[in-house]
Structure 1
Amino acid sequence: MKLIIAIVSDDLIREVTDHLMDKNIRSTKLASSGGFLKNGNSTILIGSEDNEVDEKIMAIREAIEKSKNKSKVEDKKDANIFVVPIKSMKRM
């Protein structure tokens, strides 16, 4: 099992969460801030089986690229993604 932690720019978060829902990927969004000038961002948490990690990261990437193609803004990084091992995940 893995935990995917994606820190996404606030101007892209809606597109990313909508795309994850369209692909039936469960996620939890947390408001967060940090970095230079405390730019707004949100943190997305996604539990994943090991063999599904790449698919879920690709879904995040697709949403960001789709949004960037609309705005033509490509001068900054829009997400930081961390993948960490977890012992177990329980849904209650």
Structure 2
Amino acid sequence: MEAYVAIFFSIHYVLKAEQLLKAANISLDVVPVPREISGDCGMAITFAPEQLAAVQSILAAADIAIARIFCKDAEGVFREIPWKTDS
């Protein structure tokens, strides 16, 4: 099962994003940033790929910037996905 992993610029953004997304009934988990993505300590949010548009919309409205988004495929391999839209 695929999952998206969103990396933020600070733990403050992770916590605020968690609060906003849960209030919007977006199913998510807050997890440590996977070592395959970064050796830095930190937290990330995982969510289902079909929720990407809703996640982007909610966080953009709250001015919460996502640093990077990765897709974890069924084999557990992470790959960065293009997700930013030119407005």
CA RMSD of aligned residues (A): 3.0
What is the TM-score when the length of structure 1 is the normalising length?
0.54
- Structure with more helix by fraction: 1
**Counterpart of 2:69?**
81
Greater gyration radius: 1
* In structure 1, distance between residues paired with 2:26 and 2:66: 20
List aligned pairs for 1:26-65, cutoff 5 A. Answer: 26-32=27-33, 34=38, 38=40, 40-49=41-50, 52-63=51-62, 65=63
The share of aligned pairs that are identical, in percent, is 20
Which structure has more RCO (C-alpha within 8 Å, separation ≥ 6)? 1
**Counterpart of 1:3?**
3
**Counterpart of 2:79?**
none
Structure 2 unaligned spans of 5+: 75-87
Give yes or no for contact 1:2–1:53 (8 Å, CA) kept in 2.
no
Aligned to 2:48, the other structure's residue is in SS state strand
**Given the superposition, is the C-alpha separation of residues 25 and 41 from structure 1 closer, same or farther in structure 2, using an over 3 Å criterion?**
same
The Cα offsets for residues 64-91 of structure 1, whole Å up to 9 and x where unpaired, read as x16xxxxxxxxxx7521224565xxxxx
Give yes or no for contact 2:32–2:44 (8 Å, CA) kept in 1.
yes
* In structure 2, distance between residues paired with 1:12 and 1:53: 17
Deviation at 1:13, TM superposition (A): 1.4
